[in-house]
């Protein structure tokens, strides 16, 4: 138990807020850990319970179904039942009686005796009769969807796009815990200095197998380290770091980042330019640009300017053909980052994908006007959906004869991703390097 609320109560609040307010689980978790001043151990359990229950929601509903049948259940009670069944099914170290006791106590506190009795009844029946077997599902695609907790329409869509084998691997990878990686601020420090500083703080860090300047921690939160506070590193997934390689800026250049917040790629590009030149970082939302200003200060960078603008109107603000490189890290469905934001798989729809693809096309069309002749346009998303990725990229080339494929993309990217590059584009699936699913396409404006 913590000062005010039990860990399971906090987990329950997060699960409710994710569903009710469409809030992001990772942000709520960070906030709750900070606000409750949880110990490292408690923070670990809270993370496991919250992420685990969210990741496995469809599987847990399958397990619960025979015990609740068609009863109308309040959402918070449903979350509490899922949270409890998650512990039954996946956390063998927690005894059943403790799981039931705590759920019943929360039931009494939040509801009334009747609800607590219902929760007790459901959980005791599960304890007695055991969980239903997933092996009993005949249809292999439905089985994959339930076993890995993905909506059936999404699994079918991925099978159409990637085939059964890759989809199976992707679904399985999506329910694994993500690695925590960071990018070393190369203009301010060296890898050795960061390693030394982090080890002194008790963090067990190792170098990335795939990228220079990427590190990972196996025993602690890099974002709360002094090295982070002192601007020696930025939290960023390895896939996301690839955009910096694709942009490959030179000192003194003028670069436009059309969709920049919270600034992971803006700061990478600014660091790669050794704090020279200018990176103009645009975003639709002013409050998000504040995060870039904070990061800029923390990292000691003076070559970033932030601008609030709808990227679909960027040419009203900047002179045409005035940037050496424009990169569009577009708003997308986020199906490549399900490990970090599991709620994405339950909330995004095919209509969202269609709408996003249309916004992506509009932003790219506008961005294209701002690239100098001979300059580069780099398009990226953290999704795996082909409608937002290769279809947008192919459509762009078809409608913009003043651009051509940038066939040198593979030469700029690290060797480890070479097998995933085709011509001017790269599609990484989460299982490829155990990093985020990610897409990059690069175009060159004809001279």
Ligand X SMILES: C[S@@+](CC[C@H](N)C(=O)[O-])C[C@H]1O[C@@H](n2cnc3c(N)ncnc32)[C@H](O)[C@@H]1O
Q: Which stretch binds ligand X (CB under 6 A): 43-51, 217-225, 260-268, 349-357?
A: 260-268
C-beta of 334: minimal distance to ligand X in Å? 8
Query: Is residue 430 annotated as involved in ligand binding?
Result: no
Half-sphere exposure of residue 201: CA atoms within 13 angstroms, side-chain side? 20
- Told to check if 244 binds ligand X by CB under 6 A, we report no
- Told to check if 132 binds ligand X by CB under 6 A, we report no
Half-sphere exposure of residue 364: CA atoms within 13 angstroms, side-chain side? 33
Q: Are 335 and 437 in contact (CB under 8 A)?
A: yes
Query: Is residue 329 annotated as involved in ligand binding?
Result: yes
Q: What are the tokens at 61?
A: 């509903």
Q: Which stretch binds ligand X (CB under 6 A): 21-29, 56-64, 191-199, 259-267?
A: 259-267
Report the residue from 19, 324, 329, 385 that binds ligand X according to the rule CB under 6 A: 329
Q: What are the tokens at 374?
A: 């001979």
Query: Is residue 264 annotated as involved in ligand binding?
Result: yes
Q: Which stretch binds ligand X (CB under 6 A): 36-44, 75-83, 263-271, 297-305?
A: 263-271
- Told to check if 263 binds ligand X by CB under 6 A, we report yes
d(CA 246, CA 190): 22
Query: Is residue 246 annotated as involved in ligand binding?
Result: no
C-beta of 150: minimal distance to ligand X in Å? 22
How many residues bind ligand X (CB under 6 A)? The answer is 19
Query: Is residue 263 annotated as involved in ligand binding?
Result: yes
C-beta of 176 vs 355, nearer to ligand X: 355
C-beta of 282: minimal distance to ligand X in Å? 6
Q: Rounded to the nearest 5 degrees, what angle is found at the Cα of 385, between the Cα atoms of 379 and 390?
A: 45
Instruction: Give me the active site residues, please.
Output: 382
Q: List alpha helices for 91-221, DSSP H.
A: 96-110, 113-129, 140-147, 152-162, 164-174, 191-200
Q: What are the tokens at 314?
A: 């960027």
d(CA 432, CA 3): 43
Radius of gyration for the chain, computed over Cα atoms and rounded to the nearest angstrom: 23
Give the helix/strand (H/E) hosting 438.
strand 438-445
Q: Name the one residue in this structure whose structure tokens are 């329409």.
A: 153
Report the residue from 124, 179, 207, 312 that binds ligand X according to the rule CB under 6 A: 312
- Told to check if 262 binds ligand X by CB under 6 A, we report yes
Q: How far is CA 120 from the centre of its chain?
A: 36
Report the residue from 103, 154, 282, 299 that binds ligand X according to the rule CB under 6 A: 282
C-beta of 63 vs 438, nearer to ligand X: 438
C-beta of 198 vs 281, nearer to ligand X: 281
* Cβ atoms within 10 Å of 62's Cβ, excluding its own: 20
- Told to check if 317 binds ligand X by CB under 6 A, we report no
- Told to check if 290 binds ligand X by CB under 6 A, we report no
- Told to check if 264 binds ligand X by CB under 6 A, we report yes
Report the residue from 310, 321, 352, 390 that binds ligand X according to the rule CB under 6 A: 310
* Cβ atoms within 10 Å of 226's Cβ, excluding its own: 11
Give the helix/strand (H/E) hosting 329.
strand 323-329
Q: Rounded to the nearest 5 degrees, what angle is found at the Cα of 401, between the Cα atoms of 392 and 408?
A: 70
Describe the chain by its helix, strand, coil percentages, rounded to 5: 55, 15, 30
Query: Is residue 268 annotated as involved in ligand binding?
Result: no
C-beta of 198 vs 256, nearer to ligand X: 256
d(CA 147, CA 30): 28
Query: Is residue 310 annotated as involved in ligand binding?
Result: yes
C-beta of 260: minimal distance to ligand X in Å? 5
Report the residue from 147, 238, 283, 436 that binds ligand X according to the rule CB under 6 A: 283
Query: Is residue 125 annotated as involved in ligand binding?
Result: no
C-beta of 85 vs 325, nearer to ligand X: 325
Torsion on CA atoms 317, 319, 322, 323, rounded to nearest 10: 10
- Told to check if 261 binds ligand X by CB under 6 A, we report yes
C-beta of 100 vs 328, nearer to ligand X: 328
Q: Give me the residues that bind ligand X (CB under 6 A), please.
A: 240, 258-265, 282-285, 288, 310-312, 329, 331
Annotated binding residues for S-adenosyl-L-methionine, written as ranges, equal 259-265, 283, 310, 329
């Amino acid at each position: 138990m913590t000062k005010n609320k039990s860990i399971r109560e906090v987990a329950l609040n997060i699960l409710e807020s994710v569903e009710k307010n469409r809030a992001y689980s990772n942000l709520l978790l960070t906030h709750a850990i900070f606000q409750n001043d949880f110990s490292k151990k408690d923070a670990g359990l809270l993370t496991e319970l919250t992420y685990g229950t969210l990741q496995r929601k469809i599987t847990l509903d399958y397990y619960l179904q025979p015990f609740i049948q068609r009863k109308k259940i309040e959402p918070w009670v449903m979350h509490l039942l899922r949270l409890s069944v998650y512990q039954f099914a996946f956390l063998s170290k927690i005894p059943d009686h403790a799981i039931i006791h705590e759920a019943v106590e929360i039931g009494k506190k939040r509801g009334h005796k009747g609800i607590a009795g219902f929760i007790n009844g459901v959980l005791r029946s599960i304890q007695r009769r055991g969980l239903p077997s997933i092996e009993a599902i005949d249809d292999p695609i439905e089985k994959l969807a339930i076993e890995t907790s993905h909506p059936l329409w999404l699994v079918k869509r991925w099978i159409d796009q990637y085939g059964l084998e890759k989809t199976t691997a992707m679904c399985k990878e999506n329910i694994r815990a993500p690695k925590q990686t960071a990018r070393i601020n190369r203009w301010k420090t060296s890898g050795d200095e960061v390693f030394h500083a982090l080890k002194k703080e008790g963090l067990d860090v190792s170098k990335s197998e795939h990228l220079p300047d990427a590190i990972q921690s196996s025993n602690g939160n890099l974002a709360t380290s002094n090295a982070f506070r002192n601007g020696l590193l930025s939290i960023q997934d390895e896939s996301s770091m690839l955009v910096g390689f694709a942009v490959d800026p030179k000192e003194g250049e003028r670069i436009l980042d059309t969709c920049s917040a919270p600034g992971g790629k803006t700061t990478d590009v600014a660091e790669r330019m050794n704090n020279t030149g200018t990176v103009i970082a645009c975003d639709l939302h002013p409050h998000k640009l504040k995060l870039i200003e904070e990061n800029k200060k923390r990292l000691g960078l003076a070559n970033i300017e932030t601008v609030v603008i709808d990227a679909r109107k960027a040419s009203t603000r900047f002179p045409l053909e005035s940037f050496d490189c424009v990169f569009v890290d577009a708003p997308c469905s986020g199906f490549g980052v399900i490990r970090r934001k599991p709620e994405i798989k339950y909330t995004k729809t095919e209509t969202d994908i269609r709408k996003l693809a249309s916004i992506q096309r509009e932003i790219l069309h506008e961005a294209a006007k701002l690239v100098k002749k001979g300059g580069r346009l780099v398009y990226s998303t953290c999704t795996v959906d082909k409608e937002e990725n290769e279809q947008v990229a192919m459509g762009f080339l078809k409608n913009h004869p003043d651009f051509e494929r940038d066939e040198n993309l593979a030469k700029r990217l690290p060797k480890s991703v070479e097998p995933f590059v085709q011509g001017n584009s790269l599609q990484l699936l989460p299982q490829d390097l155990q990093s985020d699913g990610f897409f990059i396409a690069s175009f060159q404006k004809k001279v």
